Amino acid sequence: MEEIFRFGDEFGPAKVTHVYQPELGLKGVLVVDNVARGPAIGGLRMAPDVNTAECFRLARAMTLKNSAAGLARGGGKSVLVGDPRMPRDAKERLIRAFAHALRNERDYIFGPDMGTDESCMAWIKDEIGRAVGLPAAMGGIPLDEIGATGWGLRHAAEVAARYCSIDLRGARVAIQGFGAVGKHAARFLAAQGARVVAASDTQGTVIDAAGLEVDALIRVKDEGRSVIEHGRGEKRDGEAIVEVECDIWIPAARPDVIREDNVHRLKTRLVLEGANIPVTAAAERTLHDRGVIVIPDFIANAGGVICAAMEFAGSSQTAALASIAERISANTEAVLARVKAQGIPPRYGAERRGAPIFSYVRAARSTINERGAITRPDLVVVADDTLLPVPAAGVLQGCTPRTVMLLVSREAAEAWRSRLKFSGLLLVMGESASASAGAQAPPVGALCAGAAARLTGAIGRTSLERAVRAEVASHGTGAVESSLAEALAAFDAMAPHAGAVPEGGTIGAAGYSTPDWIDVPAFPITPQTEIIETLAGWFARGEARGRLTTLESEHSMVTGAAAAAATGVRVFTATSSQGLLYAMEMLFAVPGWRAPFVLVNVSRAVATPITLEPDHTDILVARDTGFVQIHCATCQELLDSVLIAYRLAEDMRVRVPVVVNQDGFYLSFTREPVDMPDAEAVRRFLPPFDPHGSVRSRPRRRMRSTASAIRVSRSGWCARGCCGRTPRLRCGARSPGNGRSR
């Protein structure tokens, strides 16, 4: 039993899956290491000698890589035993079978790696609908084709060169592994003026101290040949690349190519780990003792996964490349600054970049998740402005987590605020008590626990204190009191800066911010219930002006909403999944009444087999009802979209109801801070409801003739016909007999 769990530690792996189908010759492994920050993204590696141990080490590297890069993604990896040069149809059959076997592993997203490419990802996407690194023709960003990882290596080299006193113009570069990573690293570095003096692949090494012609080398590889077929240079075996004298040495192929038994042969000043785990831990320590700087894999080669994550989020290739440059440059700078200040090996400094998520998860799992308030904490955590220099704050601009928590000093806060543009931002102000007292710095998890606790509303101060003490003890430090002071200060500081707003409160916030009276006809259905409960509480306490009317069904709820809107009041309601289907008859009817109101739908799957996850079939069924639909991905979008929906629905040129749709799993089960507009800002954006066209605005008059009856029934338009079918809002004419502006 111990052998099965030999890879386990407090952080993972969450899951190890072996796939074996002897009739197909299929042997593969999936390791999902840690999903605390979201579904894992990791490449599919194909080689004859891959194994479970290698897969786990690669998955852990991906966990650290995604965390250090500020991505809302966990770490995972899959490996497939086989020769990647096998016939294309056999390779496709094997990859499709492997993907199909893992079709239900929702916590893992396939990407390309050694032995696989964009075409392989297209097969997987077709098979299970879940892959990144797709061909451009399928809407993907072909990260191997554009050289995303090599682009990141170029920027890591640019920063690291300053710390090694290397001038990139004229710097000698040796590249072990001239494949998808190595050839693009060579191309980008050559464009900076570097000389590629050696390159290797599985067939051998080519060396030329004067510099190899990079474009010619790339053409040779693209034709399926070896670098040793390059016309110039000395041809040697593959191991010869290790002892080539150079300024920058880039391992870009297999794991463990530099070990204790060959590290003494390496003659370089800087190692950029283009492959995952290419240098053993012992060899890295030896190089550090020799004064050779090693930029760890999960810092230097993160370009590929950054690109993949941004593709998955719908970003463009241009945005992905810009994000890669910014994130990797900032991370490399931060790591090397710490190395220079503290004299520690780069990997130790780099792990501080990836470790906050572990500290947060360890501290928060035992407290927050026991109450079920957060099922997947998509948090990017920066514990103090000293951990990430303010000039590097822009590295976070391209990421898409639900929440970013920054515990910073007041002096740094404004600089951070001006650089971070996305909405899920929380600044916890306050000087560091431990830093000002000169005490030992508290662990990251202890600092974050207070803000996380207040953010979720899951635990109180007493439970928080227990969690912080446990966290500090797990680090073996003596900074208990200072850590506790930090956490409690963060807990107390949350209220002035952001609210702990649940899914229901987020929607209800629109009603709370709207100064007009709001009518809420409702029929509760989970997970919409919290919305209605929150509004009912506000009405009962006098915190919002409105009335809750409970009805006997969703059919009556939608009918009541339209009828109330027709009387000239502002109306809000909400439903979910089957509730929307129960109301379907009226969904088709009420848009024709031109009665504007806003309905929030918390989308849940309605097809069998029953599942909690949203597939949006409920709202898609309502596509042709005449309701305007707005679909939201975050709580901030929900709040903003409800206000936008009122302005849209109540416009005289529209006058139809609007449905604001959110998913009924992640958004309805999680909480995040939102920026609440003040009442004055809402008044400027959303003026009081103009009831023109409602039954309340129609003149009270006796019906004297059929013509008069027709005139009244068409009261939404100019009665005299002097301006045709012009809405009354635009007509200054007066109708005969009543003296009112029509």
- Return the active site residues: 77
Distance CA 576, CA 590 (A): 18
SS3 for 315-351 is CCHHHHHHHHHHHHHHHHHHHHHHHHHHCCCHHHHHH
Distance CA 357, CA 379 (A): 8
Question: Are 529 and 501 spatial neighbours (Cβ–Cβ below 8 Å)?
Answer: no
**DSSP letter (8 states) at residue 734:** B
The CA-CA-CA angle for residues 472, 474, 475, to 5°, reads 65
Angle at which helices 480-497 and 461-475 pack, to 10 degrees?
A: 140
Q: In what order do the strands lie in the sheet with 403-407?
A: 379-382, 403-407, 425-428
Question: Are 570 and 646 spatial neighbours (Cβ–Cβ below 8 Å)?
Answer: yes
Exposed, middle or buried: residue 510 (CB in 10 Å: 0-12, 13-18, 19+)?
Answer: buried
DSSP string, 135-188: -GGGT---HHHHTHHHHHHHHHHHHHHHHHT--STT-EEEEE--STTHHHHHHH
Q: How many CA atoms lie within 13 A of 610 on its CB side?
A: 2
Q: Are strands 546-550 and 518-522 parallel, antiparallel or unpaired?
A: parallel
Distance CA 88, CA 100 (A): 18
Structure tokens of 370? 């026991």
Distance CA 411, CA 403 (A): 22
Element spanning 204, H or E: strand 204-207
Distance CA 548, CA 556 (A): 14
Q: Are strands 74-81 and 570-576 parallel, antiparallel or unpaired?
A: unpaired
Distance CA 171, CA 336 (A): 20
Distances (CA, A) of 241 to 118, 137, 462: 29, 37, 59
Distance CA 709, CA 719 (A): 11
Distance CA 336, CA 272 (A): 13
Distance CA 227, CA 229 (A): 5
Question: Are 725 and 693 spatial neighbours (Cβ–Cβ below 8 Å)?
Answer: no
**DSSP letter (8 states) at residue 573:** E
> Could you tell me which of 624, 626, 574 has the C-alpha nearest to residue 604?
574
The tokens 């299929």 sit on which residue? 26
The tokens 């089957």 sit on which residue? 578
**DSSP letter (8 states) at residue 279:** B
Maximum CA extent, the chain = 107
Sign, CA torsion 340/341/346/352: negative
Exposed, middle or buried: residue 657 (CB in 10 Å: 0-12, 13-18, 19+)?
Answer: buried
Distance CA 332, CA 298 (A): 10
